[in-house]
A and B are shown apart, each in its own frame.
Chain A
Amino acid sequence: MKHTISALVENRSGVLAHISTLFSARGFNIDSLAVGETDDPAVSKMTIVLDADERILEQVVKQLRKLIDVIKVQDLTGQNFIDRELVLVKINATPATRSEIMQTVDIFRAKIVDAKPRSLTVELTGDADKINGFLELVGEFGIKDIVRTGKIAMARGNK
């Protein structure tokens, strides 16, 4: 099952290396890892998505908490949370397909950020369902290039 973990870590050099070394040393497979500074420049927030059963997940969370530079670890899965990902996709576009692509872009409230004679580059944010849905549709035109930020996530509510 897919799990989304949110971790607050010290913003120091070596922290990302510590975390990725932990994942590879223990054979945990991660789908994505996104990291950025918080309002406190001394602290970063990471969102980690991984596919694991409950037992492995428990170890992942415990092992992360054990790292000295990790401040807080939360498994968001099963909680009410918001998640988003940003994707840039470069799609094959011919005069014949161009308008169909643009319609799809509209439906998904995506944005065209670059247009060339044989391609359109689209920016899209959304949760996993939205992004996968979009990619499935435009996949038919042929994807020339794609880059995803990896998921970022946050619990809903006042806390």
Chain B
Amino acid sequence: MKKTGAQIVIDAMLKEGVDTAFGILGGAMLPVFDVLYDAPLRFILTRHEQGAAHMADGYARATGKVGVCMATSGPGATNLVTGIATANMDSVPIVAITGQVFTTMIGNDAFQEADVTGITRPITKHNYLVKDVKELPRIMKEAFHIARTGRPGPVLIDIPKDVQIAETEYKYPKNVEMRTYKPTYSGHPQQIKRAAEAIHQAKKPIIYAGGGVIISGAAKELAELAKKANIPTATTLLGLGGFPETDRLSLGMLGMHGTRYANYAIMESDLIIAIGARFDDRVTGKLDEFAPHAKIIHIDIDPSSISKNVRVDIPIVGDVQNVLRELNKLVRKGQYAPWHKKIREWKRKFPLTYEDNGELKPQFVVEEIYKATRGEAIICTEVGQNQMWAAQFYQYTKPRTLLSSGGLGTMGYGFPAAIGAQIGCPDRIVFDIAGDGSFQMNIQELATAAINKVPVKVAILNNGYLGMVRQWQELFYKKRYSHTSLAGGPDFVKVAEAYGAVGIRVEKKGGVRPAIKKALSIKKPVVIDFHVELEENVFPMVPAGKAVNQMIGGMA
């Protein structure tokens, strides 16, 4: 059957199971949007393309499916860039479809032309400029395949307007045929055997679990390994929810703002079992001093993650779930009694805590959200102190319940991601734990949430500052608060109302619980503006360039 390029794009999306897409159109996308007009697909018109990219990302992280965003050529496409880079750093499967000027005009500085494949090359897993409509079916098929398989990531397809208009004989390919792209899913049996032996020989083993556990859907297998082998388990920011924090084996988050006991444990361990984690510098601290006594097992689907930052003794390339299933068959119950005793001691001496002086503390707000949602909500975060408090004071027990921009640290991520997550999971409670600075970076999406009746809740931990940066100025720049004050910011309650959402202000500790309860009872987007203590800091903390057991602050 003959179809136009535009029809092929939409048909391919439907065949790939896409039910929702996010974006903004423009001249170079008119043909595609004309087909979209009566396609059985929910399209969410956002107010900024960055919002669309983060929504696709939040949708993908919450559901595990591929998120789709669409934009027109030139400025539409360049507005997607931050969202694509965010997804790329955190291995999130999204497909971005952009319009491009006519093939005959490419390279001529045509109206609204930008070299989008050039710009996005280093921030996508792969990208395509479609020059011939005949290639479009194959490219659509490959793009979705590449985005969701192996180490997931964003794929961009740039489609000139004439290619959208052109017709071709169309049949959607059943299979992908790529000689170059074949991710390794099953781990090498010999390496898995070596790993099991190393576990049996260890005296102070620790599991360091990352985002790869969640991506792989391997929370169950991870819990089985930890329990069967009796190994304390810490997760990264992106691994939170991959292992229940309520479990006695949990060490919570490790790294710069992780728990003292997780960091002490990793520094003293003699065996690190790294599972779908990439030894980010926020986790390792000073590299030369990282875990000096430890042998390292590293399970990762991406060979380039292995031995990138630290030398690995037993590399296992493969999918976490596959590898753990095999490994779990081999491991025996471990004893490690003195090790567990030591860790219990650290946990008792150095719990995560904050000074409760009766004021409205941001940590308290997070704890109350945890209680009110019984740990069942999907929590999105912005970036900064709010993000770290959300990581520290909410207890994550299930995968895909914390969506946070870890690798790129994108302010403005959380709110649109929450909208995407809520659209993907309409029956869940979705909270964006926000900062007053970050929220303002994509605040326009209040319109998207209100108009589409997306009942997300935004909890602004309003400290009147670009708080995380202020904290660094306080600690390392003699309190010279150069341009970090947000004082005089907008009245968030009025802003919310102006957009058709509900706004609630909370200034006292006692108001926190009722406000959250009220927000949860309203089937609309709600913004709660918590006026928290202005100069509260995130502790404990590893100062830059220090080993991760050199933590400051946060002592009871």
Determine whether A17 belongs to the interface, using a CB cutoff of 8 Å to chain B: yes
Determine whether A156 belongs to the interface, using a CB cutoff of 8 Å to chain B: no
Determine whether A68 belongs to the interface, using a CB cutoff of 8 Å to chain B: yes
14 A-B residue pairs with Cβ-Cβ distance under 8 Å, sorted by A, are: A10-B180, A13-B131, A14-B121, A18-B121, A21-B122, A25-B122, A58-B307, A59-B304, A63-B304, A66-B302, A68-B126, A68-B178, A68-B180, A69-B180
Given contacts A14-B117, A21-B122, A68-B180, contact A55 B304 (CB under 8 A): no
Which residues of A lie under 8 Å from residue B117 when comparing CB positions?
A: 14
Most chain B Cβ neighbours within 10 Å, of A25, A63, A68: A68
Determine whether A98 belongs to the interface, using a CB cutoff of 8 Å to chain B: no
B303:A65 contact, CB within 8 angstroms? yes
A14-59 residues with Cβ-Cβ distance < 8 A to B are 14, 17-18, 21-22, 25, 55, 58-59
Nearest-neighbour CB distance to chain B for A11, whole angstroms, equals 12
Residue on B with the closest CB to A72?
A: B180
Which A residues are closer than 8 A to B by beta carbons?
10, 13-14, 17-18, 21-22, 25, 55, 58-59, 62-63, 65-66, 68-71
Residue on B with the closest CB to A18?
A: B121
A59:B308 contact, CB within 8 angstroms? yes
Given contacts A21-B121, A63-B304, A65-B303, contact A14 B129 (CB under 8 A): yes
Which residues of A lie under 8 Å from residue B179 when comparing CB positions?
A: 71
Q: How far is the CA of A34 from the CA of B205 in the complex (A)?
A: 48
Q: Given A25, A62, A71, which contacts B303 in the complex, CB threshold below 8 Å?
A: A62
B302:A55 contact, CB within 8 angstroms? no
Known: A25-B122, A71-B179. 15 other contacts (CB 8 A): A13-B129, A13-B131, A14-B117, A14-B129, A17-B118, A18-B121, A21-B121, A58-B307, A59-B308, A66-B303, A68-B126, A68-B146, A68-B181, A69-B180, A71-B180
Given contacts A18-B121, A69-B180, A71-B180, contact A62 B126 (CB under 8 A): no
Determine whether B125 belongs to the interface, using a CB cutoff of 8 Å to chain A: yes
Residue on A with the closest CB to B128?
A: A14
Most chain B Cβ neighbours within 10 Å, of A58, A59, A66: A66
A17:B121 contact, CB within 8 angstroms? yes
B146:A55 contact, CB within 8 angstroms? no
Q: How far is the CA of A133 from the CA of B109 in the complex (A)?
A: 48
Nearest-neighbour CB distance to chain B for A40, whole angstroms, equals 11
Which residues of A lie under 8 Å from residue B131 when comparing CB positions?
A: 13
Q: How far is the CA of A70 from the CA of B117 in the complex (A)?
A: 17
Q: How far is the CA of A14 from the CA of B180 in the complex (A)?
A: 15
Listed from nearest, the 3 A-B pairs whose CB atoms lie closest are A62-B304, A68-B126, A25-B122
Nearest-neighbour CB distance to chain A for B402, whole angstroms, equals 27
Q: How far is the CA of A59 from the CA of B180 in the complex (A)?
A: 18
Given contacts A18-B121, A21-B122, A25-B122, contact A70 B304 (CB under 8 A): no
Q: How far is the CA of A13 from the CA of B117 in the complex (A)?
A: 11
Which residues of A lie under 8 Å from residue B129 when comparing CB positions?
A: 13-14
Most chain A Cβ neighbours within 10 Å, of B125, B304, B306: B304
Which residues of B lie under 8 Å from residue A65 when comparing CB positions?
A: 303-304
Q: How far is the CA of A80 from the CA of B126 in the complex (A)?
A: 34
Which residues of B lie under 8 Å from residue A55 when comparing CB positions?
A: 307
Which residues of A lie under 8 Å from residue B307 when comparing CB positions?
A: 55, 58
Which residues of A lie under 8 Å from residue B181 when comparing CB positions?
A: 68
Q: How far is the CA of A17 from the CA of B122 in the complex (A)?
A: 10
Q: How far is the CA of A123 from the CA of B308 in the complex (A)?
A: 42
Residue on A with the closest CB to B304?
A: A62
Which residues of A lie under 8 Å from residue B178 when comparing CB positions?
A: 68
Interface string of B301-315 (1 = CB under 8 A from A): 011101110000000
Q: How far is the CA of A69 from the CA of B179 in the complex (A)?
A: 9
Which residues of B lie under 8 Å from residue A21 when comparing CB positions?
A: 121-122
Given contacts A14-B129, A59-B308, A62-B303, contact A70 B118 (CB under 8 A): no
